[in-house]
A and B are shown apart, each in its own frame.
Chain A
Amino acid sequence: MIGRAALAAAALLLAAFLISPDSFAPLLEPLTRRGAPAVYTQTSLWSLTVSHLALVAGAIAASAVIAVGLGVLVTRDSGRDFLPLARMVTAVGQTFPPVAVLALAVPVLGFGDWPTLLALFLYGLLPIFENTLAGLTTLPPQVVEAARGMGMTPAQRLWRVELPLALPVILSGVRLSAVIALSTAAIGSTVAAHTLGEVIIAGLLSSNAAFVVQGGAVIATLALLIDAGFRAAESAARSRAGF
């Protein structure tokens, strides 16, 4: 209850800040030096937030499709041999630093959103893949046996039994990836992606702590809200799955 009230307050505060950043200027002023601006105005914070979220959503949607697909593939009889390969690919995607991905991608993809999209996509694969794997391999054995024994085809078993029952665990993987991507996306602005990282970088370049704080706070608040949203979806899926 307290958690929910705090979240609602955070959401309101965030909305107020994005709609009217200037009214927060007095709060941020103490962080500035020598009369530097307290609020970032180069690009509208609202549009940066929207493009930041769109970038994360696009990357994570792609990660989810590929990672869940891989998880399904390697848990089928025909795809079991690909498990080590899929593990390796997703693990490399997670361990290769996103900054390095950006650096390597720019010469190929150019400046802008694409390198960031790629970095976030790769970074998001592992948690979703591992959770899909965990969800699909820990289903109650009698339930799976019953689904076979009733005469469901492999596709019917997957869509009607396995995925609905594994959904809560899969969603928690998507949540992890989304939250990580939300904060990681900020570095995309080093290669000219439109993200809230632009505000932080501007703050760093001009030694303006107010910019760094506002960029960081907006991202952190978004992360909290998205985390809460996914948790709610997970618990809905969990009760629908009968756990």
Chain B
Amino acid sequence: MIEIEHLTRRYGPRAVVNDVSLTVQRSEIVALVGTSGSGKTTLLRMINRLVEPSSGRVRIAGTDTATLPPHQLRRRIGYAIQGHGLFPHRSVAQNIATVPRLLGWDRARIDARVDELLDLFQLPPEEFRDRRPQELSGGQQQRVGVARALAARPELLLMDEPFGALDPVIRAQAQQDLRRIQRELGTTLLLVTHDMTEAMFLAHRIAVMDDGRLLQCAPARDILTRPASPLVQALAGEQARPFHLLSLSQVADLAQPGTAEGPPLAPETSLRDALAQCLWSGRDALPVAGGGVVTLAALRQAASGETGRTGAGASVKAGVPSPPASPPAPQ
């Protein structure tokens, strides 16, 4: 879907993005992570040419983006940013209709699309259509921002810290919504975040950047267990590594025969939550709904990264298309 080839952006002598190559498959979610100033946002903005590359090439569905006028390129790519950037002088419906209007859709088609998106984001159209953005809560504004980005059915969605301004509770909800909607629509998603937990939750692959270079692009489990360099290991959060690993699998992946006391866990509960329950309730095993148990010993083993390459489905989040073969990490 997106082929990024040797992309570089220089400001004076300094390369903010330095010879980055990356391929993203259709319907894949890739998270760009790294410290501030690592070049992740610049890389993202070069894809829709908000920043012009100094050298290198980006192809989207085979088309070299440099061959299109920038505004036409951007109308084909969804774009959502931190703090949403909704137009304060336009209603929610008008905001969502921005790109369809630019594309010259007719009125009826735009209205239908706006209502469809409001429904998709659980904002009842008759209640929200005519409101102004500033009359909405932060979480609602963020949803309208993403709905606007998706309005013209782009195949590719770029997001720059889309949840950065949300409080933790709303943020978790927004992440779940995004995952659900991405799965429904099959949109290819490139996401900039500095939050490793968010990247692990959402992305099929994580691209770790530092000082303008792409250090490694691989599934979360590989980033955690086989970091390409000590820097990747540090950026992935060494201390939190066992918890990150646990959050990547569900109890269904780890269930073994047996019985245990207490209320059963839903099969899609993350191992991280299961461990939390074990510790909090002081038990060594928890029952899983539909049969079986998950034991503290198994959780401990999973946290050490050992089940990563065994157990069926353990490296893939259920319901997500299996991650495409990762290209070799650049040296």
Residues of A within 8 A of B (CB): 140, 142-153, 156, 161, 164-165, 240-243
**CA separation between A240 and B85, bound complex, in Å?**
17
Asked whether A150 lies within 8 Å of B133 as measured between CB atoms, the reply is no
Q: Does B181 contact A (CB under 8 A)?
A: no
Q: Which residues of B pack against A, CB within 8 Å? A: 48, 50, 70-76, 79, 81-89, 98-99, 102, 132-134, 145, 148
Shortest CB-to-CB span from A37 to chain B, Å, is 54
Distance between B158 CB and nearest chain A CB, rounded to angstroms: 8
Given A241-B88, A241-B89, 13 more contacts at CB 8 Å? A143-B87, A146-B79, A146-B84, A146-B85, A149-B79, A150-B79, A151-B70, A151-B75, A151-B99, A152-B98, A152-B102, A240-B89, A242-B133
5 A-B residue pairings within 8 Å (CB atoms): A142-B83, A147-B87, A149-B79, A151-B70, A161-B87
- State whether B88 touches A242 (Cβ < 8 A): yes
A to B contact number (C-beta, < 8 Å): 68
In the complex, are the beta carbons of A149 and B50 less than 8 A apart? yes
Main secondary structure of the interface of A (DSSP, over half): helix
A142: chain B residues at CB < 8 Å are: 81-85
Query: A186 → chain B, closest Cβ, in Å?
Result: 39
Complex Cα spacing A151 to B158, Å: 13
CA distance A240 to B134 in the complex (A): 12
- In the complex the two chains form, is B48's CB within 8 Å of A149's CB? yes
Known: A151-B71, A151-B99, A151-B102. A145 touches B50 (CB 8 A): yes
Given the interface pairs A151-B99, A242-B133, A242-B134, the reply to whether A143 lies near B74 with Cβ below 8 Å is no
Choose from A150, A165, A242, A243 the contact partner of B99 (Cβ within 8 Å).
Answer: A150
A240–B87 alpha-carbon span in the complex (Å):
11
Q: Which 6 A-B pairs have the closest CB atoms?
A: A242-B88, A146-B85, A151-B75, A142-B85, A151-B74, A149-B79
